[in-house]
Every structure is written in C-alpha cells, then in structure tokens.
Chains A and B, each alone.
Chain A
Amino acid sequence: GAGVSQSPSNKVTEKGKDVELRCDPISGHTALYWYRQRLGQGLEFLIYFQGNSAPDKSGLPSDRFSAERTGESVSTLTIQRTQQEDSAVYLCASSGTGGGNYGYTFGSGTRLTVV
C-alpha cells in the first residue's frame, strides 16, 4: 500500500482480556518495527522484524507481549491479560532494504485503552 496501515485505530478493552493489533507495512519494505508511546512520553522500542531473520524481541516488556510476522507482510502484536499500564498508542513502522538509513515510515497508531 501507499503507507503503513494499522488497525484498529482505537481499542478499548477490559483488564484481563487479550488484544491483537495489526500492522500492514509498505509493500516491499523488509523491516518492520513496533513501538509504544505512553501519554506524554517518548517512543519505547518493542520488537523489530527483518525479512525472515529471527526478530529482535529485546524491547518487549513482559511475556504477555508477543508479535508475529510472516515473511515481509502483515504483523500482529498480541497483548495477553491486558493491564491498565498497557494503555498507550502502539506505533508500527516499516523501512526498506536500506534499513534505518532512510528513516522509518510510521503508521497512525492504535490507541489502546485498558479499563
């Protein structure tokens, strides 16, 4: 597609429920990143996918968080047993074969509210 698409744009869920966030990167972009942005704070790296290589999961805050990506296509970020501190905007970004040299293209994010 023309840009990075994320869905849903907003999600309200009850504490303890599981949620799944979707990211559709720019076609042909080999790298895909997930970040979290809490209210009034900067971006916190979560996970990075590059092609078929093993993902860099070093930023995932707990084992309740997981992400999948098949090849160079759609990625899903799953949060199990959501907690109120998970409330944030979850941003996805993709970049081409030059990696971060050319900057990322970000989606508009999914605003997650855990009540």
Chain B
Amino acid sequence: AQSVAQPEDQVNVAEGNPLTVKCTYSVSGNPYLFWYVQYPNRGLQFLLKYITGDNLVKGSYGFEAEFNKSQTSFHLKKPSALVSDSALYFCAVRPGSARQLTFGSGTQLTVLP
C-alpha cells in the first residue's frame, strides 16, 4: 500500500527567505505525486504535480517541487516566501494503477513578516 510522510508538522520561515516543505513517499511502481494547499475554512487547492518527465516541476504561485527517485522524495520549494503563503500544505501520491490519492498529514507553513 502507498504512504506519504510529511515529517514536519510546522515550518516557520521569514518573509523573503526560501522555503522547503518536505515529503517522502512509498508506492509500488511509478509514482504520481501532487501538492495541495489549504487556506483556512477553504477546500484544498491543487498546486502542482509530477507524472513523468523533468524532475523539477513548477506550479502555481511560484512554487516548485523536485522529484528525487533515489530518495523517494518530492519536496516543495519556493525561492522567496510571502506572508500570504501561510497555509496548510499536503503532499499526495498514487501509483499508476490506482485512482485515489493518499495524502500526508499536512505541514502548517507560517511565513513571518
């Protein structure tokens, strides 16, 4: 069965600094990887995905993520954080054979002004 680990419940970063939100996964076969963001009292919004191709994928709001097969990781990054990036971030994975996503437990990102 597939699983996703987000080892940090909380990440704090100063505005303007780079940010990283970590994600590792376990899945049979080639993984399909996703990042979602959840703002307070709102549903999850799709940020970016890795299906195949370049290991570095770019998504919404200046976020990017790097797929690392040897380390089974898919860390979310942004070169310069904004206060408005403060939200709950979820990593998700599915094997090619399945349709439903398995989500991590989420990481609360707080960007300090």
**B14 CB-CB contact with A under 8 Å:** no
**A21 CB-CB contact with B under 8 Å:** no
Q: Which residue of A lies closest to B59 (CB)?
A: A103
Q: How many residues of A contact B (CB 8 A)?
A: 25
Task: Please give, as numbers and ranges, the residues of chain A lying within 8 Å of B32 by CB-CB distance.
Answer: 100-101
**Which of B46, B51, B100 makes the CB contact (< 8 A) with A48?**
B100
Task: Please give, as numbers and ranges, the residues of chain B lying within 8 Å of A101 by CB-CB distance.
Answer: 32, 49, 51
Q: What does the 1/0 interface line of B86-104 toward A look like (CB < 8 Å)?
A: 0000101010000111111
Min C-beta distance of B49 to chain A, whole Å: 6
B59-102 interface with A by 8 A CB criterion: 90, 92, 94, 99-102
The answer to whether A43 and B100 have CB atoms under 8 Å apart is: no
**Which of A48, A99, A102, A106 makes the CB contact (< 8 A) with B44?**
A106
Task: Please give, as numbers and ranges, the residues of chain A lying within 8 Å of B105 by CB-CB distance.
Answer: 41-42
Contact-size category for B: 20 to 34
Q: Total contacts A to B, CB within 8 angstroms?
A: 56
Min C-beta distance of A69 to chain B, whole Å: 14
Task: Please give, as numbers and ranges, the residues of chain B lying within 8 Å of A78 by CB-CB distance.
Answer: none
Min C-beta distance of B82 to chain A, whole Å: 22
A74-115 interface with B by 8 A CB criterion: 91, 93, 99-109
Task: Please give, as numbers and ranges, the residues of chain B lying within 8 Å of A31 by CB-CB distance.
Answer: 99
Task: Please give, as numbers and ranges, the residues of chain A lying within 8 Å of B51 by CB-CB distance.
Answer: 101
Q: Which residue of A lies closest to B49 (CB)?
A: A103
Min C-beta distance of A57 to chain B, whole Å: 11
The answer to whether B100 and A56 have CB atoms under 8 Å apart is: yes
**A67 CB-CB contact with B under 8 Å:** no
Query: In the assembly, what is the distance between CA of A50 and CA of B100, in Å?
Result: 11
**B43 CB-CB contact with A under 8 Å:** yes
8 chain-A/chain-B pairs, Cβ below 8 angstroms: A33-B101, A56-B99, A56-B100, A100-B101, A104-B46, A106-B43, A108-B41, A109-B43
* For the complex of A and B, 10 pairs with smallest distance between CB atoms: A103-B46, A106-B43, A42-B105, A43-B103, A106-B44, A108-B43, A42-B103, A48-B100, A45-B100, A99-B99
Q: A42-B90, A56-B100 are in contact. List 16 more A-B contacts (CB 8 A).
A: A33-B101, A41-B105, A41-B106, A42-B103, A45-B100, A59-B100, A100-B100, A101-B32, A102-B49, A103-B34, A104-B44, A104-B46, A105-B46, A106-B36, A106-B44, A108-B42
